[in-house]
């Protein structure tokens, strides 16, 4: 029997002794709060201040490739900016661009546009933002006006337990300010949606929004940001925008979180049917080992794969999901999950019940970057176009 030792590398990852990297706030945050498009109207030159981590130390032979990649990125960015600068944004064009990935500095405006939170027509934007943030503030006031005793105890209790264990070990999420924001977002959402209330895992879904919106105001890594540095109006804006965008995302998948979670049951069932068609040997092997899809895919649906891949991976994935429309979080997602499973087919077919479950519980995605996610999305796209309109095939055993 093997008794696991403590892996020194692993513990260092979560509790690093290294000093936290500096947190830098942008100089013009007050302008950005009122008009998130400020940077887009301003910038003509490609992003210079946000070097991707891959550029760190390239050997000379890599530099040509890097140059090429950079110029592709620059071009894409310019096309985005051109699209976003129009007074009335063409949503179809924006969706098309965003499907292939949104530059990180543009996400804070592209995501809300795709979700319909930010109006496509430029003149309406500032007023809408002000109104929605004001509305959120009154929702919070209403929800918390009677102090603790006035809260729905069951919902509050679960949120209180889960907030400190959201993204454990990540600086941003271990801070008081961020945790209070998360608590408010989750609680207000839960009491406005009594059919589901708060369900564990929804906390995970807030984090990509929060980090993306925060990134609009800072020049350093959101995950390492010292939230105490945020001016109150900025924090309120990030929180309110996260709340509304989360709400829109969840509108499309509320079935996942109501009693007996029928949305998940349906997705898992359809995923099993799909895998039976696209990878019959794997399906047969899982069946012969008595592995049920529910045993591993439940979590994939419930947390949208966020427990299996990094937040960075998730953010890239959501560029595409949001470009597809909020339906993607239930429909397209099941094709992504199927592609994700089939990806390991060869390995899985050599494993027994225990091996399969253990493997799928923590698949080896630690080193994944955008490239792997984009492969997965393309495979899902192909599956989707082949099978989505062929649903009569499903279940016709």
Partner 1 sequence: MAEGSNYDYLFKVVLIGDSGVGKSNLLSRFTRNEFNLDSKSTIGVEFATRTINVDGKTVKAQIWDTAGQERYRAITSAYYRGAVGALLVYDIAKHATYANVTRWLKELRDHADANIVIMLVGNKSDLKHLRAVPTEEAKTFATENELSFIETSALDASNVESAFQTILTDIYRIVSSKTLEQSSDPIKAPTSDTIPVAIDSAAPASGSKCC
Give contact residues for partner 1 (rule: CB under 8 A): 1-6, 154, 158, 161-162, 164-166, 168-169, 174, 196-197, 199-201, 203, 257, 259-261, 265, 268-269, 290-292, 294-295, 298-299, 302-303, 307, 352, 354-355, 357-358, 361
Which of 23/207 has CB closer to partner 1? Answer: 207
Which of 50/290 has CB closer to partner 1? Answer: 290
Sign of CA dihedral 96, 102, 103, 107: positive
Give the H/E segment covering residue 205. helix 202-215
Sign of CA dihedral 317, 318, 321, 322: negative
- Residue 199 near residue 257 (C-beta atoms within 8 A): yes
Instruction: Round to whole Å and give the CA distance between 237 and 320.
Output: 24
25, β-bridge pairs: 218
- Residue 309 near residue 205 (C-beta atoms within 8 A): no
Which of 292/369 has CB closer to partner 1? Answer: 292
Q: Residue 386 CB, nearest distance to partner 1 (Å)?
A: 25
Q: Residue 190 CB, nearest distance to partner 1 (Å)?
A: 11
Instruction: Round to whole Å and give the CA distance between 175 and 358.
Output: 32
Q: Residue 171 CB, nearest distance to partner 1 (Å)?
A: 13
Q: Residue 64 CB, nearest distance to partner 1 (Å)?
A: 42
Q: Residue 199 CB, nearest distance to partner 1 (Å)?
A: 5
Question: For 27-75, what is the HEC assignment?
Answer: CCHHHHHHCCCHHHHHCCCCCCCCCCHHHCCCCHHHHHHHHHHHHHHHH
Q: Residue 52 CB, nearest distance to partner 1 (Å)?
A: 28
């Amino acid at each position: 029997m093997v008794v696991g030792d403590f892996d020194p590398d692993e513990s260092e990852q979560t509790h690093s002794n290294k000093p936290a990297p500096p947190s830098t706030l942008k100089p013009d945050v007050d302008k950005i709060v009122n008009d998130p498009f400020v940077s887009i109207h301003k910038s003509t030159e490609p992003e210079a201040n946000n070097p991707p981590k891959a550029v760190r130390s390239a050997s000379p032979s890599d530099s040509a490739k890097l140059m090429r990649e950079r110029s592709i990125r620059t071009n894409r960015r310019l096309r985005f900016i051109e699209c976003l600068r129009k007074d009335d944004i063409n949503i179809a064009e924006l969706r098309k661009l965003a499907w292939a990935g949104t530059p990180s500095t543009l996400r804070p405006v592209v995501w809300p546009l795709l979700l319909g939170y930010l109006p496509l027509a430029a003149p309406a934007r500032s007023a809408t933002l002000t109104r929605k943030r004001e509305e959120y503030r009154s929702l919070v006031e209403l929800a918390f006006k009677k102090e603790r005793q006035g809260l729905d105890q069951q919902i509050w209790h679960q949120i209180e337990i889960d907030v400190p264990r959201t993204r454990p070990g990540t600086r941003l999420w271990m801070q008081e300010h961020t945790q209070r924001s998360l608590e408010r977002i989750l609680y207000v959402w839960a009491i406005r949606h009594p059919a589901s209330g708060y369900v564990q895992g929804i906390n995970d879904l807030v984090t990509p929004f929060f980090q993306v919106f925060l990134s609009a105001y800072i020049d350093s890594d959101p995950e390492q940001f010292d939230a105490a540095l945020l001016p109150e109006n900025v924090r309120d804006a990030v929180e309110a925008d996260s709340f509304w965008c989360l709400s829109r995302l969840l509108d499309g998948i509320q079935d996942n979180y109501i009693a007996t979670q029928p949305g998940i049951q349906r997705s898992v069932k359809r995923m099993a049917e799909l895998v039976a068609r696209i990878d019959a040997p794997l399906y047969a092997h899982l069946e012969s080992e008595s592995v049920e899809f529910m045993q591993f895919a439940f979590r994939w649906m419930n947390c949208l794969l966020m427990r299996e891949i990094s937040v960075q991976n998730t953010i890239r994935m959501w560029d595409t999901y949001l470009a597809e429309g909020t339906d993607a979080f239930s429909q397209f997602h099941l094709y992504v999950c199927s592609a994700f499973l089939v990806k390991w087919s060869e390995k899985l077919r050599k494993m027994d019940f225990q091996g399969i479950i253990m493997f799928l519980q923590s698949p080896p995605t630690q080193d994944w970057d955008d490239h792997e996610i984009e492969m997965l999305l393309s495979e899902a796209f192909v599956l989707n176009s082949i099978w989505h309109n062929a649903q009569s095939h499903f279940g016709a055993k």
